[in-house]
């Protein structure tokens, strides 16, 4: 079996994890939550086969939702249909971006804490260190 591919998405407007949790709970219907996107990912089959949507808050991946499927909408866009269960992950630095991006399984954060302390660095400091190839 091939390794799953994941997506990353900035939790726009959610400044904290509890805010994201409330948003997911408010949008949940029958164990699912939908996020609208203009285009279905080219690698959608890899994503659905065990992939998750990893949420970014304040330049850190902090949680994930299992991707169940992609549904085509009547307006031509797509719904990314995820489980309404939000799973916390060990915070991992990730630059903000628009839309979604792919995340290979080997690069996805796990649920175990990272003892390096890198995830605890302020986002601006992490960005400067990354630009110098120090992290």
Task: Give the model's pLDDT for residue 115.
Answer: 64
Domain count, the chain: 1
Task: Give the model's pLDDT for residue 28.
Answer: 96
Give 58's pLDDT tier (boundaries 50, 70, 90): confident
> Can you tell me the mean pLDDT for 105-116?
75
Q: How far is CA 36 from the centre of its chain?
A: 14
* Cα 104 from Cα 131, distance rounded (Å): 21
**H helix intervals, the chain:** 17-27, 44-48, 123-131
> Can you tell me the mean pLDDT for 81-94?
90
Task: Give the model's pLDDT for residue 121.
Answer: 67
Give 95's pLDDT tier (boundaries 50, 70, 90): confident
CB 61 within 8 A of CB 109: yes
Question: Which of the given ranges, 40-49, 69-78, 93-102, has the highest pLDDT on average?
Answer: 69-78
Q: Which of 116, 120, 108 is nearest to 46 (CA)?
A: 108
User: Domain span at residue 29?
Assistant: 5-131
Task: Give the model's pLDDT for residue 112.
Answer: 65
Task: Give the model's pLDDT for residue 3.
Answer: 82
């Amino acid at each position: 079996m091939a390794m799953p591919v994941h997506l990353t998405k900035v939790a726009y407007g959610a400044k904290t994890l509890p805010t994201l949790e409330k948003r997911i709970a408010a949008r949940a219907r029958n164990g699912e939550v939908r996020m609208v996107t203009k285009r279905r990912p080219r690698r959608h089959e890899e994503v659905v086969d065990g992939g998750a949507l990893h949420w970014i808050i304040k330049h850190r991946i902090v949680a994930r939702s299992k991707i169940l499927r992609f549904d085509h909408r009547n307006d031509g866009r797509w719904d990314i249909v995820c489980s309404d269960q939000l799973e916390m992950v060990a915070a991992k630095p990730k630059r903000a971006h628009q839309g979604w991006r792919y995340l290979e399984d080997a690069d996805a954060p796990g649920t175990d804490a990272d003892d390096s302390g890198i995830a605890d660095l302020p986002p601006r400091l992490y960005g400067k260190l990354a630009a110098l190839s120090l992290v």
